[in-house]
Amino acid sequence: MRAYVIKRVFGMIPTLILISGLIFIVIQLPPGDIVTSTLDRMQSQGLEVSTEAVANLRAQYNLDQPLLIQYVRWIGGFLVGDMGYSYLFTRPVSELVWERLGYTLMITVSSLIFTWAIAIPAGIYSAVRQYSFGDYLITTIMLVGLATPSFLLALMAMYAGYEFFGISIGGLFSPEYRDAPWSFGRLLDFLSHLWIPMVVLGLGGTASTMRILRANLLDELSKPYVVTARAKGVKPMKLLFKYPLRIAINPFISTIGLLMPALISGEAIVSIVLGLPTIGPALIQALIAQDMYLAGSFLMLLAVLTVLGMLLSDLLLAWADPRIRYE
Amino acid sequence: MADNLLEIRDLAVEFGTDIGTTHALREVSFDVLRGKVTAIVGESGSGKSVTANCIMRLIQPPGRITGGKIHFSPNDAPAYDIAALPNKDPRLLDLRGGSVSMVFQEPMTALSPVYTVGNQVAEAILCHRNVSKEEAFEEAADMLRRVGIDNVDRRIQQYPFEFSGGMRQRVVIAMALVCHPQLLICDEPTTALDVTIQAEILTLIRDLQKDLKNSVLFITHDLGVVAQMADQVVVMYQGRVLEVGSVRQVLKTPVHPYTRGLLAAIPGLATKGARLATIASVVGDADLTTPHPLMTLADGRQVSLSSAQLADLELTDD
Amino acid sequence: MSEVANQATPAVVTDLGTETLQEISPRQLAWIRFKRHRLAMISAGFLIAMYLITVFCEFVSPYNTDTRNVKAINAPPMSIHFFDAEGNFHLRPFVYSYDMEINADSWMREYKENTEEMYPIYFFEAGESYHMWNLFEAETHLFATREGYIHVFGTDQLGRDMFTRVFYGARISMSIGVVGVMLTLFFGVLIGGIAGYMGGIVDRGIQRIIEVLLSLPTLPFWMALSAALPVEWSSLMVYFGITIILSLFGWPGLARQVRGKFLALREEDFVMAARLLGAGRLRVIFRHMMPSFTSHIITTATLAVPGMILGETALSFLGIGLRPPVVSWGVLMQQAQNYQVIVMTPWLMIPGLFVVLTVIAFNLLGDGLRDAADPYNTGGNRD
């Protein structure tokens, strides 16, 4: 087991290097750079900019260096927590990132839990009572959930929250708590706002997760070892939980790794619609303003999050499935 | 106590498929003798395994039992009809793994990969008897030793994928016998194994049967195995019983043309260099598709033949 | 036994083997299984109808995308009547004109049906002229009114006909799905095939890249890449740019599947048998291996279309995908940026409804295809 963990953890390193290279290429793609867009802005305001100032700016952002050096500086700074400076927010990127990352994580993790809390029982019921009325009902709801764009769901949730529950729309806090220090009241306020993004985000994931579990379970239900256990006289409920479900849950665990990118993707757009102070809305602002250091850092963090999610799911899988552990 | 542990009468099973209903079993009737080995032989699709699954009520939709009786007379309890038990009857759970247990064809997939061998063997005990976990594991260990597994103290904590095919089949046999069933059903237990391992497993089953005095229903397509293992033989073809008799009767003097065909299709030293007979070439144009009732002959064996064929038979007997 | 009887025996054996079941080819079996999947059949019908409409949307819609009706700004959908206000039946269906009032409190326009003025609907009627497929001028519409106007799905805040815009939008959004999936297929099969075929270091390198791409959260990267599309690009170039971006993260999943199938099939006995019989390499690949995974690929492709459609919708909704004057479902949804739209002008959400229906239809169709294509599947994987 230990060897597997070590192998898996160190296996992340080349992946992360590749990802960072990819992100660096992506943020280099747009024509022009911060300096040219800053210049455009200043010139449109009628300001004269000396060539010296331009050169200074370029040096400040390392733009006068070859690309490889720029990359190494960027990723090196990233490792020590220096992510550059956002001219869009006129603050160091790292400050911006940390406060938003927390909310992103909270929303993602809570919707992951929500997803499981719904998907696991629904998937089991649907597989065991295949073709029953309940099965059709669940699969229909899930299908609609899967097909509805998350921003549409977010809009509808906002509408429902306002119309039926009288909750203020959007954001993670009511106005009176927005800038207040953490307190019990603020926490309650936070939780009452958290459920909308949680449900909206979770619903899309729930559908796919449930389908996977249902399909796995149906596959396992017809396996010989289930018949053996039945022939042994194991009681039906125990049989279901101990044998097919125990195995069906394995590939299910590995989908956590795939659920993470999906959730983080969804989180970005849902946050934009709901106006949440997470990474998503800031990322799109940064992209539109071509604040590429900021955008690059956000992308890198999101990628690191998903890679960590995959690592976690692989380790969980190894813990759950002796066949992998013993390889 | 009746002589017959099981009396199967007119058992019928149907499977609904995409393109119509398949009659997997039709009017299957035979007895399983108490304390003896009964073998069912037949080619693939003849209904051998379906019959075995019926006895344990393991037929799952789209298959269902559509008629007939499986009269079961346990040593220690009143007799009942297995085919007529409701799905939730507690006797069903007692039956499965308790008084009847089964060894499957595929030892590689018959055990769950995520539990230790000990856990899965001991579970059979815990399902049927009120004993502590420790006692159950101890009994499981005894049984594993008895089926010829070395180093049981270590092996019992290992997972099935750490066992070879033959060893796994021993584990499955131990799991089946650990509750001392009155009937052990072996559904082609050696088909998936190497030839040398096959012989070991067969000897093991035969020896354990002599020791434990249980009945065995042995399902195979291999007549050599039948000769080695069985007291009584049931020949099946396309979901019907064609011939039932003692091993000597059926193998030495087969009556039904299909049984003769089966026997002629066994390669032997005498046939060296010659083309092997196919069943069809021996059966000739005999009509196997029309069902005939099982008739009991003078020597006690049963056979399903047309009246014309029966008349022929009596002539040749004379 | 005579010589003749001996020759006749094989036929008897065949009869025995297929006593009650008639023989059918795998293709027929697949079709039978697919037909049994009623929802998949309905979905296939819906999608075929939708794609036909998108091909002829100039003809199907009564107006052009940017035609404005200043008498109907943010007007609700009209209902089509056969009975007039007095209860008289009209064989020719008709709509009533709008009666607009400004609400004194909210300053919103409010529309009612004006039962005094009715506009009969004529079919195959000359209306606004349009440029069919950019090839020739035409002016026949599937339906139109001779006087007044008809807005079956209502109008937007500029008074443009939503019915027209929804189907023009379908042309863009639904074709992006298909073009994107074709690109995905091309790259997926090519790269997956290369990895599976070459093996060794090429395989490992490709595997690694696939892993990396699969572990990325797609939407932020889609966002980054589409934000990088130059503003001065023409609509057509943006369209292809977005399509390429969408398929950029689609091919790795497919490539991995193709590679896996390729490797597994290479070891199959029937491939070995074909090779031993002297079949050439290409024959083995195309005659023996391809058929056993084309069905799989078709299914995967079908199930990948919804992701593309949803991707385009999301990007355009955020304003970094397609941009007006291009009309796509995502662009149309941009009007519904906040929840007030749901309350005030819910008909602006109709494009969203079409997105949902189309995505559901693709999913059901994919499920039906998967069930039909897999001969060993007894219905276990049906969702």
What DSSP letter does each residue of B89-133 carry, written as one string? -HHHHHHBTTTEEEE-S-TTTSS-TTS-HHHHHHHHHHHHS---H
Asked if residue A322 has a cis previous peptide bond (ω within 30° of 0), the answer is: no
In a domain, B17, yes or no: yes
Touching partners of B (3+ C-beta pairs < 8 Å) = A, C
Provide the 3-class DSSP secondary structure of residue B186: strand
Give residue B216's pLDDT: 92
Answer for the pair A252, A130: CB distance below 8 angstroms, yes or no.
Answer: no
Residues B204 and B177: their CA atoms lie apart, in Å, by 12
Residues C367 and C371: their CA atoms lie apart, in Å, by 6
Give residue C23's pLDDT: 67
Give residue C48's pLDDT: 94
Question: In C, residues 5-24, which contact B (CB 8 Å cutoff)?
Answer: 5-6, 8-10, 12-13, 15-16, 19-22, 24
Higher-confidence residue of C174 and C272: namely C174
Give residue B286's pLDDT: 62
> Can you give the pLDDT of all 318 residues of chain B as single tens digits?
567 888 989 899 988 876 678 888 888 889 898 889 999 998 888 888 899 989 988 888 788 888 888 988 888 888 888 888 888 888 888 888 888 999 988 888 888 888 899 999 999 888 888 889 999 999 999 989 988 888 888 999 999 888 988 888 889 988 988 888 899 999 888 887 888 888 888 888 888 898 888 999 999 988 888 888 889 999 998 888 888 999 888 888 888 888 888 888 777 666 566 666 776 666 666 666 677 788 888 777 888 887 777 777 665 554
Sequence-distant (≥ 6) Cβ neighbours of residue C214 within 8 angstroms = A258, A261, C252, C253, C256
Q: Taking all residues of chain C, what is their mean pLDDT, rounded to a whole number?
A: 81
> Between chains, do C216 and A144 touch, taking CB under 8 Å as contact?
no
Alpha helices in chain A (DSSP H): 2-28, 34-44, 51-60, 67-79, 93-128, 133-147, 150-165, 184-221, 224-231, 236-242, 244-274, 279-288, 292-320, 322-325
Alpha helices in chain B (DSSP H): 48-55, 90-95, 117-128, 133-146, 152-155, 165-177, 195-212, 223-229, 247-252, 257-264, 279-283, 307-317
Residues A265 and A311: their CA atoms lie apart, in Å, by 18
pLDDT tens digit string along C290-333?
A: 777 777 788 888 888 888 898 889 888 888 888 888 899 999 98
> Between chains, do C32 and B22 touch, taking CB under 8 Å as contact?
no
> Between chains, do B22 and C21 touch, taking CB under 8 Å as contact?
yes
* Of C370, C358, C344, C367, residue with least CA distance to C74: C344
Residues C69 and C165: their CA atoms lie apart, in Å, by 13
* Of C301, C312, C323, C309, residue with least CA distance to C257: C301
> Between chains, do A262 and C360 touch, taking CB under 8 Å as contact?
no
Sequence-distant (≥ 6) Cβ neighbours of residue C265 within 8 angstroms = C271, C289, C292, C293
* Of B155, B135, A238, A250, residue with least CA distance to A229: A238
Which of A151, A158, A209, A254 is the best substitution to test chain C (most C C-beta atoms within 10 A)? A151
In a domain, B223, yes or no: yes
Q: Given the structure tokens 């807005």, which residue do they identify?
A: C151
Q: Which of A156-170, A268-282, B66-80, C48-62 has the lowest mean pLDDT?
A: A156-170
Residues A116 and C45: their CA atoms lie apart, in Å, by 35
Distance from CA of B134 to the nearest CA of A (A): 19
Contacts of C357 in chain A (CB under 8 A): 147
* Of A20, A73, A83, A45, residue with least CA distance to A291: A83
Asked if residue C325 has a cis previous peptide bond (ω within 30° of 0), the answer is: yes
Give residue B281's pLDDT: 67
Give residue C13's pLDDT: 33
Question: How many residue pairs from chains A and B have C-beta atoms closer than 8 A?
Answer: 75
At C382, the pLDDT band (50, 70, 90 cuts) reads very low
Nearest to B280 among C13, C19, C36 (CB): C13
Give residue A103's pLDDT: 85
> Between chains, do C36 and B289 touch, taking CB under 8 Å as contact?
no
In a domain, B40, yes or no: yes
Residues B140 and B174: their CA atoms lie apart, in Å, by 8
At C32, the pLDDT band (50, 70, 90 cuts) reads confident
Domain range for B22 is 4-99+181-317
In a domain, B164, yes or no: no
Nearest to A30 among C227, C338, C357 (CB): C227
Residue C12 has pLDDT above 50, yes or no: no
Which of A225, A230, A242 is the best substitution to test chain B (most B C-beta atoms within 10 A)? A225
Give residue C163's pLDDT: 92
Residues in chain B: 318
In a domain, B147, yes or no: no
CB atoms within 10 A of CB B39: 26
Q: How many domains does chain B have?
A: 1
> Between chains, do C339 and A162 touch, taking CB under 8 Å as contact?
yes
Provide the 3-class DSSP secondary structure of residue B15: strand
> Between chains, do C36 and B19 touch, taking CB under 8 Å as contact?
no
Which of A132, A232, A319 is the best substitution to test chain B (most B C-beta atoms within 10 A)? A232
Give residue C290's pLDDT: 76
At C376, the pLDDT band (50, 70, 90 cuts) reads low
Higher-confidence residue of C179 and C25: namely C179
Give residue C355's pLDDT: 93
Q: Which of A317-326, C16-25, C122-131, C340-349 has the lowest mean pLDDT?
A: C16-25
Report the Cα C286 to chain-centroid distance in Å.
29
Can you count the helices (H) and strands (E) in chain C? 15, 4
Distance from CA of A228 to the nearest CA of B (A): 6
Nearest to B20 among C1, C16, C21 (CB): C21
Give residue C166's pLDDT: 93
pLDDT tens digit string along A217-251?
A: 888 888 888 888 888 888 888 888 888 888 888 77
Give residue C179's pLDDT: 92
In a domain, B141, yes or no: no
> Between chains, do C10 and B280 touch, taking CB under 8 Å as contact?
yes
Nearest to B280 among C9, C19, C33 (CB): C9
> Between chains, do B19 and C32 touch, taking CB under 8 Å as contact?
yes
At C9, the pLDDT band (50, 70, 90 cuts) reads very low
> Between chains, do A232 and B97 touch, taking CB under 8 Å as contact?
yes
Q: Which domains does chain C have, with CATH numbers?
A: 61-160 (no CATH), 166-373 (1.10.3720.10)
In a domain, B144, yes or no: no
Report the Cα C209 to chain-centroid distance in Å.
29
Provide the 3-class DSSP secondary structure of residue B241: strand
Give residue C4's pLDDT: 37
Answer for the pair C382, C333: CB distance below 8 angstroms, yes or no.
Answer: no
Contacts of C37 in chain B (CB under 8 A): none
Answer for the pair B42, B188: CB distance below 8 angstroms, yes or no.
Answer: no
Which contiguous run of DSSP H or E holds residue B246? strand B240-246
> Between chains, do A232 and B94 touch, taking CB under 8 Å as contact?
no
Sign of CA dihedral B312, B317, C4, C10: positive
Across chain C, which distance is largest between two alpha carbons, in Å? 106
Residues C205 and C201: their CA atoms lie apart, in Å, by 6
Taking CA atoms, A238 is separated from A235, B92, B123, C229, in Å, by 5, 15, 11, 57
Cβ-based burial of A265 (10 A; exposed 0-12, middle 13-18, buried ≥19): buried
Touching partners of A (3+ C-beta pairs < 8 Å) = B, C
Any CB–CB contact under 8 A between C220 and chain B? no
pLDDT tens digit string along C101-120?
A: 888 777 778 888 888 888 88
Residues C70 and C73: their CA atoms lie apart, in Å, by 6
Distance from CA of B23 to the nearest CA of C (A): 9
Give residue B283's pLDDT: 66
Nearest to B106 among A224, A231, A250 (CB): A224
Contacts of C22 in chain B (CB under 8 A): 19
> Between chains, do C16 and B289 touch, taking CB under 8 Å as contact?
yes
CA dihedral defined by C339, C343, C347, C349, rounded to 10 degrees? 20
Pull the structure tokens for residue B120. Answer: 């899965």
In a domain, B241, yes or no: yes
CATH at B93:
3.40.50.300
pLDDT tens digit string along A153-209?
A: 888 887 777 777 766 666 777 777 777 777 777 888 888 778 888 888 888 778 878
> Between chains, do B289 and C24 touch, taking CB under 8 Å as contact?
no
Q: Which domains does chain A have, with CATH numbers?
A: 2-92 (no CATH), 104-285+306-320 (1.10.3720.10)
CA dihedral defined by C315, C316, C322, C327, rounded to 10 degrees? 150
Sign of CA dihedral A291, A293, A296, A300: negative
Residues pairing with B187 in the sheet: B219
Sequence-distant (≥ 6) Cβ neighbours of residue C231 within 8 angstroms = none
Question: In A, residues 263-292, which contact B (CB 8 Å cutoff)?
Answer: none
Q: Given the structure tokens 């070590």, which residue do they identify?
A: A6
Give residue A134's pLDDT: 86
Residue C155 gets which letter from DSSP? B
Mean predicted confidence (pLDDT) in C107-135: 84
Higher-confidence residue of A183 and C244: namely C244
Report the Cα C243 to chain-centroid distance in Å.
14
Residue C286 gets which letter from DSSP? I
Taking CA atoms, A270 is separated from A145, A200, C318, in Å, by 14, 8, 11
Pull the structure tokens for residue C341. Answer: 């739209």
Give residue A279's pLDDT: 84
CB atoms within 10 A of CB A309: 23
Nearest to A147 among C320, C341, C363 (CB): C363
Q: Please provide the distance, in angstroms rounded to a whole number, between the alpha carbons at the two ends of chain A.
A: 9
* Of C176, C37, C145, residue with least CA distance to C81: C145
Pull the structure tokens for residue A215. Answer: 């399909």
Contacts of B110 in chain A (CB under 8 A): 224-225, 227-228
Question: How many residue pairs from chains B and C have C-beta atoms closer than 8 A?
Answer: 38
Interface of chain B toward chain A, CB-CB under 8 angstroms: 56, 58, 93-98, 101-102, 104, 106, 109-115, 120, 123-124, 127-128, 159, 161-162, 172, 175
CA nearest B20 in C: which residue?
A: C21
Give residue C379's pLDDT: 41
Nearest to C16 among B23, B281, B288 (CB): B288
Interface of chain B toward chain C, CB-CB under 8 angstroms: 17-23, 238, 278-281, 284-285, 288-289
Instruction: Provide the whole-model pTM.
Output: 0.76
Residues C292 and C306: their CA atoms lie apart, in Å, by 25
Which of B285, B287, B290 is the best substitution to test chain C (most C C-beta atoms within 10 A)? B285
At C10, the pLDDT band (50, 70, 90 cuts) reads very low
HSE toward the beta carbon, residue B271, CA cutoff 13 A: 10
Give residue A32's pLDDT: 65
pLDDT tens digit string along A60-98?
A: 666 667 778 888 887 888 777 777 777 777 778 788 788
Q: Which of A9-13, B6-10, B172-176, C18-22 has the lowest mean pLDDT?
A: C18-22
Residues A156 and B21: their CA atoms lie apart, in Å, by 49
* Of B285, B223, B229, residue with least CA distance to B254: B223
Cβ-based burial of C48 (10 A; exposed 0-12, middle 13-18, buried ≥19): exposed
Sign of CA dihedral C118, C122, C125, C130: positive
Give residue C164's pLDDT: 92
Contacts of A211 in chain C (CB under 8 A): 383
Q: Where are the beta strands (DSSP E) in C74-108?
A: 81-83, 89-102
Answer for the pair C223, A268: CB distance below 8 angstroms, yes or no.
Answer: yes
Give residue B274's pLDDT: 67
